[in-house]
Structure 1
Amino acid sequence: MPVGASPKREREFKQLEKEFKQEGRYPGREEEVAARIVNKQRAQAGETQKAQGRQRDEKPAARVASETAARDLPIAGYQHLTVAQIRDKLGGLSAAQLRRLRDYEAAHKKRKGVLQALGA
């Protein structure tokens, strides 16, 4: 793990590495794969220098607009859900709500499974 990683991330790294060794996954590359996973999580959470620089460089209006768009979605926590979780929650939504989700998905994550479920 890189210097400066939090104790929580260190624990996650060690746990992943241990699991990979026990399961026989990624033979000889357990440490590398665990580090990549934890570093990706750190970047997504804004814990890396590069991610922090991006946040500073990003225009506040753009960041506010993105957060507002995610908040206005008909499914709470949408941007953190998996494709399967999203599919399970589509049943009771109106056509306008589905259209809003489809537009958001197409503009942001572009997940094929979600777009198919939304009829794009």
Structure 2
Amino acid sequence: MSALHADRDAAAMAAEKIKVFAQPQRLMILSCLLRGERNVSEIADITGIGQPALSQQLAELRRADLVQNRKEAKQVWYMLADDGVALCVRNIEAIFGGVGAPLLPAVESIASSAPPADGVAAFARILG
């Protein structure tokens, strides 16, 4: 994937995906699902979102490919679509919800606090 500053189409796609995250009820649902697969009634109980609104928001999350579902008897179970969605939700929680620290520190803070390093040392510095 190219850097967003160099690819208008990639930037537009990213902005559209971010818009889906930027709705409180959808963000609550994603946060709930970050903790594991849930059925619709569990999501409603945990988030306090009423059934009509919950169904609408889950449909939007499915259309955006942020969640997947499976049916088991009369119950529908939801889970996050992939690790990328989980990473986004964890970082949103860390940055805005005070839950942990962002998973990837800002490049500027790493660059300003460390002497230049080459090869594996530079890679280890970013991860550390």
TM-score bracket relative to the smaller structure: 0.3 to 0.5
Q: Which has the higher helix share?
A: 1
Higher relative CO (Cα under 8 Å, sequence separation at least 6) belongs to 2
**Structure number with higher strand proportion:** 2
